[in-house]
Structure 1
Amino acid sequence: MSAEATNPAVSPAPAPPPAHRRKGRPRIDLRRLGRAALLGPTTRDRLPDAISHVVEAHRAHHPDADLEPLRRAYVLAESSHRGQMRKSGEPYITHPLAVTLILAELGAETTTLTASLLHDTVEDTDVTLDQVREEFGAEVCFIVDGVTKLEKVDYGAAAEPETFRKMLVATGNDVRVMSIKLADRLHNMRTLGVMRPEKQERIAKVTRDVLIPLAERLGVQALKTELEDLVFAILHPEEYAHTRGLIADNAAQESDPLAEIADEVRGVLREAGIQAEVLIRPRHFVSLHRVSRKRGRLRGTDFGRILVLVGEDADCYAVLGELHTCLTPVVSEFKDFIAVPKFNLYQSLHTAVARGDGQVAEVLIRTHQMHKAAEAGVVALGNPYAAPAEEQPDGRRADGEGERVDPTRP
């Protein structure tokens, strides 16, 4: 592993309050994983208890996935890391388990999860690449080798283009390697707390200058936003504490204007016969800090945005039409990232509606598939080089091995 990850501590860095957590992304219980890991390998016909949480998250996205590679990868990783401990006294295997869970929750396919379980074995244990290739195949071996090479990249040049060029060369341009690196850094940032302050600051700066821009480029917003908040807490503790206080004060208010507007939006769409899921998305700490610096005194609608999820692209524009007809739109806030997606595959309609008291609520409108791509980015795309076996919706087929026919592939 890199110098930043060789001594991960276990006391968490200052973290967002529970209300900020995304649904479906629970924190890892390291003590429970540690006890399960200490039990060691299990019988061939039974999955180890330690990876049950990974399996549950994986099957939520891939119900028919073959779990045997995960079982074998865990058995190899647990046996090879046995005796290695984190500073907490927990077995080291809890780290690759936590990294793999992060990726499983984002919808990564089985090959990525298998490589994630093994991502430290070649560098930190006696396991060789030849063993990985023989046991799990060339694809898993290629990803593990890429992660191992990526750990050797010198991040001293911060976010200069040369650093990113070295990263791309090290990974063989396989986004799955970079996905594992991002999840690895997220878990190490979550458990950074008992390191010396100067080391925390150094790791946080590298994360800010290199890994967060990478997460943005790959469209993995779920990882990017949490990394931003963890870096914010370390590098700007006073601003972080102030922002946390703003969130706590807002949560204590009796009325919630965002909830009221969300109810109004549900009513408008129900009357129009449009099936949609309307949610409130709290802003993460860095986003709220930026808004407070821009607008000064915050109002209730500044603490989050309304998210409308629908089934088809056409429904997005139908929702937009109803909201602009029945509510008061703020025309200057409208952006169409469906017709013109962002560079990192992000697609959504952005608009805003105003209440009678002058409060303005931002509204994001997208399909469920767009939302998955917005949260997980390239992590949810599987193998970007695999040629599709079936005909594309427009009738085209892949000509040649590994051609990227799907325009959403990176």
Structure 2
Amino acid sequence: MLLEKQDSLPMNVVELVQFYEQDGQSISYSEDEMKSIWYAYDFARAAHGKQQRMSGKPFILHPLSVSKIVFELGMDSDTVIASLLHDVIEDTDISLEQIKKEFGSQIAQIVDGVTKLKQYESPGSSDAESIKKLFLAIVDDAHVIIVKLADRLHNLRTINPLPRDKQLKIAKETLEIYAPLAERMGIWSLKGELEDLAFKCMQPETYQQIQYDLEKSRDEHRTILASLIDQITRKMIQSQFNPQEFSVTGRRKYIYSIYQKMQKPKYSGKGIDAIYDKLGIRIIVNTIPECYAVLGLIHSEWAPIPGEVDDYIGMKLPSGYQSLHTSVKYGPNNNDIVEFQIRTAEMH
């Protein structure tokens, strides 16, 4: 159950751990790190006091939820702490010097960076590319951008109480500035959800229609994914991979990415059934050499699409994201496309 639907906030470290782990991802921080996260949460809760969001809910729910997004991205404890404190300087009487004294210079630097970015959020400029470059130019720590992206994601998840004009402004900024930043950082899941939520806000009827059409094909997609997963799993086992030491999972692509494809001239007027690359498969292995070995197995089974192989292991992205991506053709006439992502458990 999401915290916003609960009546009480975490009141001790155990409850805070339960909050972070409620969606199945286990805490890997040390006991001391978890105590520091609890201290930051308690500090932020006291600083924000009785402040409320427009929904009428306690304001502390926002930084707490942002910290959960940061945790789910696999960030370190310092970044989680900074995310809990990211609104303290702007919205309370707490100073940067107090943050530095209580939590150290590294965390204070992240909090200060997020605070400074806020003055550029509504620049009144239509040049989104210049704003993105400005963000990257004034920030020399990728953790600042990650906290800012998590902040924007939670604001989109809870956008309904805002006036319609404010909603549209936030959604437009998200598509033009924040989703491309997430892509540049290599945080694809964040990019996908940012785009879907912004698109849902800006064009709710189109979003719902695509969602409805996807639901009609749900069983077919499950069958296709199951077949592809079975094929690559058997091929990996035949190549001496231990089935206990790797995992293969599949999913549908995000709604906004499908919508963008539908806008291309060759798909004009054809509807969602004409979009073939609606599916993605993720493979988790133990080592980097195994990643490249699996890539070779995939390409020996299905024809790779030229220009659609990306090596984010050999060339790590600024966020630290590492993975191999490849899109291949499958099906009776090789008309369908699926994207594979391959990484180690450590990268995941």
Q: What TM-score do the two structures reach when normalised by structure 1?
A: 0.72
Task: Specify which of 275, 283, 288 is matched with residue 308 of structure 1.
Answer: 283
Is 1:362 the counterpart of 2:338 in the alignment?
yes
Residue 36 of structure 1 corresponds to which residue in structure 2? 9
Residue 58 of structure 2 corresponds to which residue in structure 1? 91
Encode CA deviations 1:144-193: one digit per residue, 9 max, x unaligned: 2222221122432244454245434654x222111111111100011111
Is 1:132 the counterpart of 2:119 in the alignment?
no
Give me the whole-angstrom Cα distance separating, in 2, the residues matched to 1:271 and 1:300: 32
C-alpha deviation, 1:195, in angstroms: 2.0
Mapped contact 2:25–2:72 kept (Cα < 8 A): yes
Give me the whole-angstrom Cα distance separating, in 2, the residues matched to 1:321 and 1:218: 26
Structure 1 pair 168/91, CA: closer, same or farther in 2 (3 Å)? same
Is 1:150 the counterpart of 2:125 in the alignment?
no
Residue 211 of structure 1 corresponds to which residue in structure 2? 178
Residue 279 of structure 1 corresponds to which residue in structure 2? 249
Residue 3 of structure 1 corresponds to which residue in structure 2? none
Which residue type is aligned with residue 155 of structure 1? P
Is 1:289 the counterpart of 2:259 in the alignment?
yes
Structure 1 pair 88/48, CA: closer, same or farther in 2 (3 Å)? farther
Alpha-carbon RMSD across the aligned residues, in angstroms, is 3.0
Mapped contact 2:52–2:59 kept (Cα < 8 A): yes
Give runs of aligned pairs for residues 146-295 of structure 1, distance below 5 A: 146-153=113-120, 154-168=122-136, 170-171=138-139, 173-253=140-220, 256-275=223-242, 276-294=246-264, 295=267
Give me the whole-angstrom Cα distance separating, in 1, the residues matched to 2:214 and 2:279: 10
C-alpha deviation, 1:252, in angstroms: 4.6
Mapped contact 1:192–1:200 kept (Cα < 8 A): yes
Unpaired runs of 5+ in structure 2? none
Mapped contact 1:81–1:92 kept (Cα < 8 A): yes
C-alpha deviation, 1:236, in angstroms: 2.4
Give me the whole-angstrom Cα distance separating, in 2, the residues matched to 1:329 and 1:166: 40
C-alpha deviation, 1:355, in angstroms: 2.7
Mapped contact 1:28–1:98 kept (Cα < 8 A): no
| Structure number having the greater helix percentage | 2
Give me the whole-angstrom Cα distance separating, in 2, the residues matched to 1:221 and 1:107: 13
Task: Specify which of 296, 309, 312 is matched with residue 335 of structure 1.
Answer: 309
Residue 47 of structure 1 corresponds to which residue in structure 2? 13
Deviates more, 1:286-295 or 1:57-66: 57-66
Give me the whole-angstrom Cα distance separating, in 1, the residues matched to 2:211 and 2:282: 23
Q: What TM-score do the two structures reach when normalised by structure 2?
A: 0.84
Encode CA deviations 1:114-173: one digit per residue, 9 max, x unaligned: 1111111111112122221221122222222222221122432244454245434654x2
Structure 1 pair 302/371, CA: closer, same or farther in 2 (3 Å)? farther
Helix, strand or coil at the partner of 1:281: strand
Q: Which structure is richer in relative contact order (CA contacts within 8 A, separation 6 or more)?
A: 1
Mapped contact 1:341–1:347 kept (Cα < 8 A): no
Structure 1 residue ranges (4+ consecutive) displaced by more than 6 angstroms after TM superposition:
55-58
Which residue type is aligned with residue 297 of structure 2? E
Helix, strand or coil at the partner of 1:274: coil
Encode CA deviations 1:364-410: one digit per residue, 9 max, x unaligned: 152225853xxxxxxxxxxxxxxxxxxxxxxxxxxxxxxxxxxxxxx
